[in-house]
Amino acid sequence: MTLKKRIASGEVTVGAWCTIAHPQVVEAMASIPGIDWVVFDLEHTEVNVNDLAALFMACEKHRVAPLVRLSSHDPIQGRIALDLGAVGLLIPVVESAERFADLARHFVYPPKGRRGACLARINGWGERFSEYQTEFEPILIPQIETPAGVAQAKAIASLPEVDALFIGPYDLSASLGSAGDFTMPAFREAERSVQESGRAAGKSLGMHVVTPRPEGVQARIDEGYRFIALGTDIICLRDSLQQAALIGK
């Protein structure tokens, strides 16, 4: 079953978050049993489109789905990521259902959309052109990160192009006045509103578990989240070292 179908079915999927543009780092994450996908972050990291093909190969070796978080609402960047092998895109700071629907059309082939056809890595430089052209549908996940996005979450979730809603906890808490405070009433209320919007539309909910501890992951699952991002590569590295460094101190 494809990742898109697993998300649609409400299955829990777990992924890693790539901020270090090196294939060995990606392979180290993708080779871990239980990792279903890796997001390559073009918004806040050194990773760029020139790195993606090599990084995707490290995922594909272990049958892990590569996803890309765009740096902005850039249709060309999204098209390039898909042509290189991404199976889906996370789009930051989505605040309008109408604008998201218009952006999504750039990632779907005619007659449904206006993605440009090409001979590229994703279709074997033409060998699987017809198969990919007719069968591929990208995973599209808008990120809800502002009060305006929360207010529009119901309309956004109702779009057929949307596979899941993903809450960006740091940006959402910052936009509510206290960055990193996920317990403040305003954040909890916004979170509940997005959850209700996703459930009403039958869409999966996503969240970042910043410090990837088992109890934190289980808590998110218990809250109804089904698309779980585990920290980042560098956060996981630092967390492991910090725990070990404190032994005996």
Residue entry with tokens 């990120």: 143
What does the block give as tokens for 192? 């509940």
3-143+213-245: which CATH topology?
A: TIM Barrel (3.20.20)
For residue 246, pLDDT beyond 90: no
Torsion angle, CA of 230/26/13/89, rounded to 10 degrees? 100
Average pLDDT, the chain: 96
**Mean pLDDT, residues 107-121:** 96
**Mean pLDDT, residues 175-197:** 95
* Rounded to 5°, angle at Cα 57 from 59 and 112: 85
CA–CA dist 202, 200 (Å, integer)? 6
Is this structure's pTM higher than 0.85?
yes
Q: Is 208 a catalytic residue?
A: no
Domain layout of the chain by residue ranges: 3-143+213-245
What's the distance, Cα to Cα, between the start and end of the chain in Å?
48
* Range list of H helices, 17-140: 23-30, 52-60, 75-84, 97-104, 129-135
Choice among 44, 62, 73, 208 that is catalytic: 44
What percent of the chain is modeled with pLDDT above 90? Answer: 92
Q: Parallel, antiparallel, or unpaired: how do β-strands 88-91 and 37-41 relate?
A: unpaired
For residue 128, pLDDT beyond 70: yes
Closest CA to 53 of 33, 35, 68: 68
What does the block give as tokens for 133? 């052209």
For residue 198, pLDDT beyond 90: yes
| pLDDT at residue 247, rounded to an integer | 80
- Band of pLDDT at residue 211, cut at 50, 70 and 90: confident
| pLDDT at residue 248, rounded to an integer | 65
For residue 244, pLDDT beyond 90: no
CA–CA dist 192, 177 (Å, integer)? 18
For residue 202, pLDDT beyond 80: yes
